[in-house]
Every structure is written in C-alpha cells, then in structure tokens.
Amino acid sequence: MHPDMEKILFSKVEIDEKVHELGNILSRDYVGKELLMVGILKGASVFLADLVRAMDIDVRIDFIAVSSYGTSSKSTGVVRILKDLDKSIELRHVLIVEDIVDTGLTLNYLLEILKARNPASVRICTLLDKPSRRGVNVPVDYNGFAIPDEFVVGYGLDYNEKYRHLPEIYVLKKEIYQYSK
C-alpha cells in the first residue's frame, strides 16, 4: 500500500462491480434517449472513462471544469467555470458525473447553471457520497457508495493534485493533510 494511506476503502474489484452496476442502471434508464454525460474535471475523469465503457447505449461525453471560491476545506458554493462545455445542452438529456459529493454546494450551484441552459433533463451521478456532510439538499439520482466523513483519494480523487492515478480508493493519513500545506 502507498505509505501515505491509512487504509484501503474500496478495491479495484469493488469499484469495478459498482461501476458496472451503475452502467447497467443508466443504460436501462436512458435507453432510446440521446444522453450527454458531463464529467466534472479533474476528479470524475477516471470514473467517467470506466462508466461509459460499462454502458451499452450510445452516449456523448463532455467535460466542465469548475473552481469553488473559498479555501479548500470550506466551499462557499459559488462556482467559477474554468472550462465550459464545448456544445449547447439545449433539449439534451444531461447526466452530471461527479467523483464525490461532500457538502453538495459545488454541485448545487453547477446544477442551477446547467438547468438555466434549458436541457431536456439533468440528473446527477456520483461514485461517492458523504451524506453526513451535506449542507444543501442536492438531488443525487445515482450514487455508488455512501462513505463516512473521511478524506479519500485515488481513482481520480486527489489531495493537492496527488494520488489521482491510484486504482483503488483509500483513506488518506490525517498527518498528510494536516501538516503538508
């Protein structure tokens, strides 16, 4: 195990099973519809890449990059778009794909921005959810795993841009994020 990790939370096999489960549900729910899957950069890129390959309907993909104002530990819920979608989403069925929902503030704001662009529908799919941290009532339609309030990395998730490449999901050792800033 990587020396910065406290423990493994989800193995490659557990992630793979969950991604396939979600892929099957999404393929069923969106059959006959033109689905645009919107990955939130950078964290959701790994999940999105696996998720689309676990689906058996035609999908399109796009990415959006946002930064939330405030410090890294306190999200204000006001989001700045760093990279917008390439194309209009008007009258499209949009699925926002996120790595983790924490307070929900970022996603809630993004949801309002995308809804204002008049899509046919917009739903949210996240791999991880920390329900105990929720500050706003953001409607998560598809959720992989509910997890406790611990800082997790790997499978796209980072701390200071590190650990995204790890194939499993880990709980990061507290001393790494308490003293390394």
- Please report, as ranges, the residues that interact with ligand IMP according to CB under 6 A: 43, 68, 75, 98-107, 151-153, 157
State the nearest-atom distance from the C-beta of 10 to ligand IMP, in Å.
Answer: 13
Q: Identify which of residues 43 and 119 has a Cβ nearer to ligand IMP in the complex.
A: 43
Q: Is 99 a catalytic residue?
A: no
Q: How far is CA 120 from CA 6, 77, 92, 123, in A?
A: 43, 25, 5, 10
Instruction: Calculate the CA 139 to chain-centre distance.
Output: 14
Q: Identify which of residues 98 and 168 has a Cβ nearer to ligand IMP in the complex.
A: 98
With tokens 């696996």, the residue in question is: 50
Set 50, 102, 141, 149: catalytic member: 102
With tokens 């999200």, the residue in question is: 75
d(CA 157, CA 165): 8
d(CA 31, CA 128): 24
100 close to 152: Cβ distance less than 8 angstroms:
yes
Closest alpha carbon to 89 in 35, 46, 154: 35
What residues are annotated to the active site?
Answer: 102
